Structure 1
Amino acid sequence: MPEHEVAEQPAVAEPAARPEGRAGPGEHVVAVVGAGPRGTSFLERLLAHLEELPADGRARAPWLRVVVIDSAVHGPGRVWDPEQSPLHLMNTPASYPTVAPVGRTCEQLAPSSISLSFSQWRRRRGLVDEDAPDTDFPRRADYGRYLADVHRQTVEALQDRPGVAVESIRAAAVAVEREDPDDAASASLLTLDDGTTRRADAVVLAVGHVPARLNDAGARTASAAEELGLRHVAPAVPTDVDVEAFPAGETVLIRGMGLNFFDLMIRATVGRGGRFRWDPQAEAGRRCAYVPAGREPLLVAGSRRGAPYRAKTDAPGFVPAGIRLVHLTDAAIEEAERRHGTLDFAAHLWPLIARDVLATYYRTLVEVAGELFDDPAGFVEAFDALLRRDDLGEQVLASRGQALLHVHAPDAIWLDVRSLGRPFDGVTFASAAQHREHMLAYLEDDAASSAAGAASPVKMAIGAMHAARMRLKALISEGRVAEASRIEDVEGWFEPLIEGLASGPPMQRIEELAALMRAGVVDILGPDPLLDVDRGAGCFTAESPWVEAEPMTARWLVEAMMPANRVRLSDSPLVRSLLASGLARSQEVVDVAGAPRAGKGFAVTAAPHRLVDASGAASPSIYVLGLQLSSVQWGTAIAAEAGGDPQAGARTLADADAAAGSVVQTALGAAVLEAPAG
């Protein structure tokens, strides 16, 4: 039974800021702007590089001062604040995240003396039994405590190094400029929001999520809301949304049904005194009932797909154990490159991914429901042979596959891979009640398939697509996918598909959502909802073109999503100042029509991702980590994968390691990296 109570935890102490003061003669100053997970990973990687120096090299090293700047708690940052509601859960199992190399990652990235994963930390702190599985989805506050501990230990270990000092400053950097505007190699001057200025020989930008301006449509909605006295809540980090302000008993429209939605949902219900009753003996999807407190608003949520993100499976592993990609292999990818050059996602990669999804689905179906097939082994052999035919396009392959399935298992359905992300496409509903009934059936089925784990053909097929996503991330980061195809195909339609399927909440949240719908506390709009402002009636309206029903009306509209991750839309004083001064520019990308356009992130070099200025020159001493690398990397990760490949699931560690290695090389000089002769 899920718990919603949390034991009192000791307050997180900030690391001591010693020694203080300005840089002394001969000091090399490194400013780390952002002390969340990526800033913490950089510090841990810096420690690892310093610990690898020979003893005599360390003794001769010049003084190194590391200045860590963040207005939020150092280590967790804003998103992982240890003081946030214990109701907020992670959407990855406890086995996954780490901010330091562990396990097989250490074969390529040397660990530091404090390297440990979240899983290891939980056991050391006694939060779970030593032999307990790591398949649970922990509280985000607990992950914040892990980050705070790792940050503190790293800072202490750095301070214990000969010739190294660390300062921790609770302030925000609002501007960076060159000390000598005419010298690209000059030091940087950082202005903080407390009015002070700091000089740094190197700057590491690890700022994470930052505020963003609304796009044109959002700005019009916000303006109309202000004019009419309505409440429009812009995209924000969930912990920054004042859910207590939602009026009890009133309708609150919510746009978006991803992870932010589930945070708002649980805080507006259990957070207001409601409670769930769980019956572990009931069928998955119907194990939960909600007892209202009477203080809840009516949450009415909508998204383009018409459904929330699918629940994570109970099958163990970040990618479920047993998933094997037999079509999207290194050999197939290399052959496509040999024949075609740079990879096109739609032409060269998606056909392989779709085949792996289909192969996984039907192999699992044969294993768990072999009675549907007249000759299970014969079907698998014939289906595998069909999937190996690379001369068949997606639609022809689907037609041949359906015909084969009809012969061997006429009662089995054909899996339309793309439709997984839009389960109600083409379906109309005669009333809101009919749609609600279908939605509940969908949620119950999703929970049941998650509970089935590796015995669910759908969840294993999604697992195969997720495994392919991890491979695709590496290919994009390596520059092997054509830029136009990445914009048009990967970001255009594959990203929404895979996000809705593989980036969802724990199964618990889907069961809770179903219970809240049955209790009349939450409702869901149909696909492609139209959320608008009715100036005549003085309210927001919401309706779906697929549901025959009167529009919903409300005085509240909440955008349940994070601020846009686009540097051109950033409302961060720091990001705006970098662009305005020309010290940075957004990456220019070229779309499928050959037209140039601004990319999401900063223009940077290859690793160690030095910042590129408006003239196209790379800064020798300003590095970028994290979300603002989104023009050269695809997708955002909350953490590195414990034991993952540094070129794939643990890439955030590889990025931090590259920046730290470059800083050490520059700060200490090549001479201290080699023991002196004699």
Structure 2
Amino acid sequence: MKYTMPTTSPSIAIIGLGPRGVSTLERLVAHLNAVENPPQEFHLHLIDEAQHGSGRIWNTSQTKALCMNTFAHGMTLFSEPGSTVDAPVVEGPTIYEWVRLHLGHNEEVSAEKRAYVDKHPLDDALWERFSTEELEQIRPESYPLRALYGYYLVWFYNSVLQDIPEWVRVHSHKARAVSIEDHGDFDVIALNNGESVQASATIAVTGWQKQGLAEQEKWIAQTLEDHPDLNWIRANNPIEQDVSSIKDNEKVLSRGLGMGFFDILILTTEERGGQFVEDSNAAGGLRYIATGKEPTYFASSRRGYPFMPQADDGGLPPAAEIPRLKKVVAELSDREGRRSIDYDVEVWPAVLRDAYHAYVKTLARVEPDALKADLDTVVQAIDDAEVDASVVFNGVSAMDDVISQYTTKRFSLLRWMHLLPANFDSSEELTAYLMQRLEEDLKDAEAGQDSPVRAALWSLGFSRKPTQVLGAEGRYTVESRHHMFDKAIALAQLACSGPPIFRTRQLMALVDAGVVKFIGGYPLLDTDRNTGEWTMSSPSSGGVRYRGTTLFDAWVHKPDIRKTPLDPLMKDLVDKERVVPFTDVWEDGTELPTASVAQHPQSRRVLDAEGQEDPRLHMVGIPAHAQYPDTTISPPLPGTDSWFIQEADKAATSAFNITLSMNKMNQAV
């Protein structure tokens, strides 16, 4: 093995150059540009075997069939004035503004952002895949293609590289980091191309990693050995799943009803020649013209309900008011220590009351005759209603009584917490019920801010970040975290992190065309002893066993260091105990290891088994999902002081300070 740089000069390595990696790089470069007395020699190593800038998931070469579930004007990698960051703020365009600048519509972008682009000119790469007509169709409220976001990321990355000071030597490595060895004052990072690099500080931004097999997956793998004619498309990012292995007219058993499911439908229907056409007589306003070769999907998930379409707000929805939750957060934010906050008792009542307040306030605006009393009276009744989360969902009933007493409407969050209120005798009955619910979801989504239902769900969704930040570092009791907190976050994700409206319309068209049939919740996977096929059943559809030759898992595993990671770098760090799990603590003092890597909240350096900070190694993003909020959310929203950029800044600041200290020591010597 050869060293790329046999030196003890200050050096930083960034492993992983997707969105979080390049955001971390930008924060680091902002620090480097503020150095008044730079070292004589400084090395920066940028490591990723995927496309630098976009990473694997946002690769620019991917199909145009896949879109994002975030608005074009709601995505940026730039920090903003007022951001909670240590490195200097650098302003730049959102992806929508970046597109408009490509088209020459400079007057639509602020002077500060235009100045950045003047200094970091746009290149012609975007025009290689996108036409003027395609780009002109993008509005602030559009859901951009994932490939387009990839081009934005690559431009951002190249722009950051332009800003690196001349005294910094940059080394780009198109390779995967596979291990890190501690050599006292520095680390040696081995790459899969036989090279290695030295780093006095390392920031690992490894993103979604391949995981070892869970227990059921081990059974699936063994079944494949016994029945080689069967197919399993394991959970992964859609562009990395072998969609081509799904044959024409094949029966596919699918688990997961989020974005991955919507993606696979498009990749095996429209991408194979099928067409969606407008049809006012169709349930969702679309009709699917089949090729006659479509697979049939028997679809299920834990909930058994597809992610709801996002509201048509004509742009970024306004911030929810959540006055009660803001007050609670202000009162509890300074409380320190593990298990110091009971979410059920101290936080959930505020979240629930805010949601019902949002419902009645919107109802009073769009349908004032529906209120039997003035709004202030109804709101006071909401505040007076008892909320008791000691029994699951018991606290919702009192709120429902308020709605019944003071309005002519019926509304209950129970309807979205218990999405399948009954078990049906067959997939056909369940599918008919879900199509009715999807029509309702679609109607509310189309109404946008004029839908009282969407207002309540948006309030719940908007509460995610402040409640997650409040409970970070294990501040919620484990009991309450696994009770109402998990349920509230799950419902918020279902309602506010779903697909664009047109994807729900396409799903409904595919149901009408017989391409998709719903099985229900909590699916039971097995094999048919006679035919050898996969079988799947659910109590939601009468326990009927549906057969298929392909099993498709439509989700992405979150990293879990409790299992044996397949990612060689993470496996190396776990084996050496360079990283350990972050632990929750039960009421009786029992420690509960989580899936996350334990990290220091300020520096983002990993912790050892004694809770001591590693001298050099930092981690950013998804591997810390159980300890910190929003680590799986990308890209960040402008105007939100995003946790995404805050954590990138924390790691960059720590790595910068480590190397700065090293440089001072070298100068002293």
Alpha-carbon distance in structure 2 between the residues aligned to 1:270 and 1:207: 33
Question: What does residue 636 of structure 2 align with?
Answer: 641
Question: What does residue 177 of structure 1 align with?
Answer: 181
Preserved CA contact (<8 Å) 1:62 1:668: no
1:218 aligns with 2:195: no
Alpha-carbon distance in structure 2 between the residues aligned to 1:128 and 1:440: 42
Distance 1:299 1:372, change over 3 A: same
**Counterpart residue identity of residue 189, structure 2:** L
Question: What does residue 122 of structure 2 align with?
Answer: none
1:295: how far off? 2.6
1:549: how far off? 7.0
Question: What does residue 110 of structure 1 align with?
Answer: 88
Alpha-carbon distance in structure 1 between the residues aligned to 2:32 and 2:107: 32
Q: Report SS of the residue matched to 2:494.
A: helix
TM-score w.r.t. the length of structure 2 is: 0.87
Q: Report SS of the residue matched to 1:290.
A: strand
1:325 to 322, 329, 332: 322
1:155 to 157, 161, 166: 161
Alpha-carbon distance in structure 1 between the residues aligned to 2:386 and 2:406: 23
Q: Report SS of the residue matched to 2:178.
A: strand
1:414: how far off? 3.0
1:423 to 389, 413, 419: 419
1:511 aligns with 2:505: yes
Preserved CA contact (<8 Å) 2:251 2:296: yes
1:619 aligns with 2:623: no
The one-character-per-residue Cα deviations of 1:474-513 (angstroms, maximum 9, x if unpaired) are 213366434553355434x333222222211111110000
Distance 1:434 1:30, change over 3 A: same
Question: What does residue 238 of structure 1 align with?
Answer: 238
1:370: how far off? 2.6
Question: What does residue 257 of structure 2 align with?
Answer: 257
**Counterpart residue identity of residue 136, structure 1:** S
1:467: how far off? 1.2
Question: What does residue 289 of structure 1 align with?
Answer: 287
Farther off after superposition, 604-613 or 253-262: 604-613
Q: Report SS of the residue matched to 1:328.
A: helix
1:636: how far off? 3.2
**Counterpart residue identity of residue 93, structure 1:** F
Farther off after superposition, 143-152 or 285-294: 285-294
Preserved CA contact (<8 Å) 1:418 1:497: no
Distance 1:304 1:202, change over 3 A: same
1:614: how far off? 4.1
Question: What does residue 199 of structure 1 align with?
Answer: 198
Question: What does residue 584 of structure 1 align with?
Answer: 579
Distance 1:487 1:372, change over 3 A: closer
Question: What does residue 95 of structure 1 align with?
Answer: 73
Q: Report SS of the residue matched to 1:641.
A: coil
The one-character-per-residue Cα deviations of 1:176-205 (angstroms, maximum 9, x if unpaired) are 1112xxx4xx21111111122222111111
Preserved CA contact (<8 Å) 1:89 1:140: yes
The one-character-per-residue Cα deviations of 1:89-110 (angstroms, maximum 9, x if unpaired) are 1111112222221355388762
Preserved CA contact (<8 Å) 1:343 1:481: yes
Alpha-carbon distance in structure 1 between the residues aligned to 2:104 and 2:651: 33
Alpha-carbon distance in structure 2 between the residues aligned to 1:195 and 1:127: 46
Which blocks of at least 5 consecutive residues in structure 1 are unaligned?
1-19, 673-678
Preserved CA contact (<8 Å) 1:309 1:500: yes
1:545 aligns with 2:515: no
- Aligned-residue Cα RMSD (Å) equals 2.8
Question: What does residue 39 of structure 1 align with?
Answer: 21
Preserved CA contact (<8 Å) 2:43 2:168: yes
Alpha-carbon distance in structure 1 between the residues aligned to 2:583 and 2:336: 28
Distance 1:488 1:594, change over 3 A: farther
2:49 to 53, 63, 71: 71
Alpha-carbon distance in structure 2 between the residues aligned to 1:338 and 1:652: 23
Question: What does residue 451 of structure 2 align with?
Answer: 456
Preserved CA contact (<8 Å) 1:533 1:539: yes
Alpha-carbon distance in structure 1 between the residues aligned to 2:497 and 2:9: 45
Question: What does residue 601 of structure 2 align with?
Answer: 606
Distance 1:372 1:384, change over 3 A: closer
Question: What does residue 97 of structure 2 align with?
Answer: 120
Question: What does residue 278 of structure 1 align with?
Answer: 278
1:563: how far off? 2.2
Farther off after superposition, 298-307 or 505-514: 298-307
Distance 1:337 1:36, change over 3 A: closer
Q: Report SS of the residue matched to 1:95.
A: helix
1:391: how far off? 5.4
Preserved CA contact (<8 Å) 2:25 2:160: yes
1:441 aligns with 2:423: no
1:165 aligns with 2:169: yes
Preserved CA contact (<8 Å) 2:344 2:483: no
Farther off after superposition, 554-563 or 587-596: 587-596
1:213: how far off? 1.3
Alpha-carbon distance in structure 2 between the residues aligned to 1:32 and 1:219: 34
2:9 to 27, 31, 42: 27
Question: What does residue 342 of structure 2 align with?
Answer: 344
Distance 1:127 1:32, change over 3 A: farther
1:322: how far off? 5.9
Q: Report SS of the residue matched to 1:149.
A: helix
Alpha-carbon distance in structure 2 between the residues aligned to 1:130 and 1:447: 35
TM-score w.r.t. the length of structure 1 is: 0.86
Preserved CA contact (<8 Å) 1:345 1:490: yes
Question: What does residue 654 of structure 1 align with?
Answer: 646
Q: Report SS of the residue matched to 1:497.
A: helix
Preserved CA contact (<8 Å) 1:336 1:343: no
Alpha-carbon distance in structure 2 between the residues aligned to 1:243 and 1:283: 32
Alpha-carbon distance in structure 2 between the residues aligned to 1:44 and 1:528: 43
1:401: how far off? 4.1
Preserved CA contact (<8 Å) 1:610 1:619: yes
Alpha-carbon distance in structure 1 between the residues aligned to 2:217 and 2:453: 36
1:28: how far off? 1.3
**Counterpart residue identity of residue 561, structure 1:** W
**Counterpart residue identity of residue 271, structure 1:** E
Preserved CA contact (<8 Å) 1:102 1:116: no
Farther off after superposition, 365-374 or 217-226: 365-374
Preserved CA contact (<8 Å) 2:3 2:197: no
Farther off after superposition, 298-307 or 164-173: 298-307
2:59 to 76, 81, 102: 81
The one-character-per-residue Cα deviations of 1:573-607 (angstroms, maximum 9, x if unpaired) are 10000011122222222245542222111122122
Alpha-carbon distance in structure 1 between the residues aligned to 2:403 and 2:606: 54
1:541: how far off? 1.2
Distance 1:339 1:568, change over 3 A: closer
1:471: how far off? 0.9
Farther off after superposition, 592-601 or 398-407: 398-407
Distance 1:484 1:286, change over 3 A: closer
Q: Report SS of the residue matched to 2:5.
A: coil
1:70: how far off? 0.5
Q: Percent identity?
A: 26
Alignment of structure 1 residues 433-582 onto 2, 5 Å = 433-477=428-472, 480-483=475-478, 485-491=480-486, 493-548=487-542, 550-569=544-563, 570-582=565-577
Distance 1:242 1:297, change over 3 A: same
The one-character-per-residue Cα deviations of 1:287-312 (angstroms, maximum 9, x if unpaired) are 21111122321112101222111111
Alpha-carbon distance in structure 1 between the residues aligned to 2:89 and 2:282: 42
Alpha-carbon distance in structure 2 between the residues aligned to 1:153 and 1:484: 47
